[in-house]
Amino acid sequence: MPSFMLLLYNDPANWQNMSPEDAQKALQKFMDWGSKLHSSGAHLASHKLADDAGKVMRGHGKVRVTDGPYSETKEVLGGYYLIKAANYNEAAERARDCPALEYGGTIEVRQVDPMMDDAA
């Protein structure tokens, strides 16, 4: 079955003024969503990315490494899920009730190139 990346972008400012109770409620929603993903067998991997600027590397011949702009942009790539789905529709359907959206985030859905599966 094809795999898809769900790339979760969020604006950290949205989380700043949460009370402990609100934070726990939000977390509960994420856990409920996540456990649905797991029990359906669609979950392959997920990671949170560090909250730092990251590094950007570029160059021909001479490689330059600079600090990434990521900590200054409003929306940052917070983390990703790798999931199994039959097609884009199904992948988007799984992402639809991800609480990140409810809290003002954006989810980018990208299919892992099917040729990767053929190679495996």
Partner 1 sequence: MNNEVIVAPDLLIDHLFRNRAGQMVAYLTRLLGPEHLDLAEEVVQEALLKALQNWPYSGIPQNPAGWLFRVARNAALDAIRHRTLAGEKNVQFAAERIRDAEAAAGDDREIEDRLRDDELSMVLMCCHPALPRDARVALSLKTVGGFSTREIARAFLSDEPTIAQRLVRAKRQIRESQVSFELPTGDDLALRLESALEVIYLMFNEGYAAQSGQDLVRQDLCGEALRLGRLLATSSVGTPQAHALVALMAFQAARLSARIDSGGELVLLEDQDRSLWDQKLVGLGFRHFSECAEGTQMSAYHVQAAIAATYAGVQQANGIDWPVILSLYNELMEISPSPVVALNRAVAVSRVQGAEAALAALRPLIEDRSLRNYYLLPAVQGRLLRDLGDREAAADCFRQALERPCSEPEKRFLQRKLRDCM
Interacting residues toward partner 1 by CB under 8 A:
15-24, 26-28, 30-35, 38, 43-48, 51, 78-79, 81
Q: Please, what is the end-to-end C-alpha distance for the chain in angstroms?
A: 12
CA distance readout (Å), 92 to 18, 26, 33, 102: 28, 21, 14, 15
Task: Tell me how far, at minimum, the Cβ of 33 lies from partner 1, in Å.
Answer: 8
Q: Which is nearer to partner 1, 4 or 81 (CB)?
A: 81
Number of alpha carbons in the 13 Å side-chain half-sphere of residue 120: 9
Task: Tell me how far, at minimum, the Cβ of 52 lies from partner 1, in Å.
Answer: 13
Q: Which tokens sit at 19?
A: 């009370």
Q: Which is nearer to partner 1, 64 or 74 (CB)?
A: 74
Task: Tell me how far, at minimum, the Cβ of 38 lies from partner 1, in Å.
Answer: 6
